[in-house]
Amino acid sequence: MSYFENIRTFVRVYELGSMSAAGRDLRISPAVTSSRISQLEDHLSVRLFQRTTRSLTPTEQGKAFYGGACAVLDSVESAEAQVVKITDNPKGSLFVAAPLGVGRRLIAPQVPDFLEKYPEVQIRLRLTDRRVDLTTEGLDLAFFLGQPEDSTLRMRKIADVARVLCAAPAYIAARGMPVSGDDLVADRHECLNLRYPGAVEFQWPLTTPDGPRKYPVAGRYECDDGDVLTDWALAGHGIAMKPGFEVADHMAAGRLVPVATQTPPEPIQMACLFTHRKRQDPKARLFMEFVIERISKTVRAQTRP
């Protein structure tokens, strides 16, 4: 297993950009980390990193080797997961986070079937629209919409989710139909915004004929619960930007209608985050694969309301 461990160490050094950080992550000493990289370089007869006293950067050979090294690790982990599915009975608690809308509509409905299949597992599901920190909050998995801020985490992409700007017919009757993002700003439309601690200023990324553009929208209504924004939109209080699957039923029934259709929102990524260490937990891998298999087709089918 020494060559395999050398590859694993190389991947963590590459991703974290530091021998000491990789050693802490793998629970080995800096000396062992350095030794494993040297052994790998000797085996390949190339230098994988340029080292100075202040920096460590991958060489062209290191960059080329990284993709194949990740594929090797993923293949081994996938094979191990298949063995676990057949031979083991997973036990213990899983701590999972998801945005409110995603969690309520997509993740929570899968939990009973998963627990029926694996009766000795406990699911601790935390729903929040704020960004979470897997390491400090003790999470195994975090489903999310958007782009991850922590590049040291592993990510499994589920789908690109189309979004829609929508409002109730009553709002349109009172304020008029905005045709584009320019109308949203110029006519000072009431935009319903998701706000949580640490959130950036409100800018809606819309698609224009000249490419993506961020519009500085404004409004009096803010909340850290996306479903509350939907309720406000249904009540005629303003315009919301929502993932298509969250408002598909309301759109089909005419309770909400699309607005500013000349500049639709850019799609948003749905994915699952997990730490390198946590991925070795069989039940976390089982739950992630179980949920993704069930929701991916639904998400893709409902991204266009």
Q: Looking at domain 163-266, which of 1.10.530.10, 3.40.50.2300, 3.40.190.10, 2.40.40.20 is its CATH number? A: 3.40.190.10
What is the tens place of the pLDDT at every residue in 135-179?
777 788 999 888 776 666 788 888 888 899 999 999 999 999 999
What's the confidence (pLDDT) of residue 279?
47
CATH topology of domain 88-158+272-301: D-Maltodextrin-Binding Protein; domain 2 (3.40.190)
Assess whether the region 2-79 and the region 88-158+272-301 belong to the same CATH fold: no
Q: Looking at domain 2-79, which of 1.10.10.10, 3.40.50.10260, 1.10.287.890, 1.20.1050.10 is its CATH number? A: 1.10.10.10
Q: What is the pTM of this model?
A: 0.64
What's the confidence (pLDDT) of residue 177?
96
What's the confidence (pLDDT) of residue 89?
74
What's the confidence (pLDDT) of residue 282?
79
Q: Where are the domains of the chain?
A: 2-79, 88-158+272-301, 163-266
HEC profile of the chain: CHHHHHHHHHHHHHHHCCHHHHHHHHCCCHHHHHHHHHHHHHHHCCCCEEECCCCEEECHHHHHHHHHHHHHHHHHHHHHHHHHHHHCCCCEEEEEEECHHHHHHHHHHHHHHHHHHCCCEEEEEEECCCCCCCCCCCCCEEEEECCCCCCCCEEEEEEEECEEEEECHHHHHHHCCCCCHHHHHHCCCCEEEECCCCCCCCCEEEEECCEEEEECCCCCCEECCHHHHHHHHHCCCCEEEEEHHHHHHHHHHCCCEECCCCCCECCEEEEEEECCCHHHCHHHHHHHHHHHHHHHHHHHHCCCC
What is the tens place of the pLDDT at every residue in 93-135?
899 999 888 999 899 999 999 999 999 899 999 998 777 877 7
Grouped pLDDT means (10 residues each) for the chain, 305 residues: 86 89 86 92 92 86 91 81 63 89 92 93 89 79 81 80 95 96 94 73 85 92 91 97 92 96 92 69 86 81 51
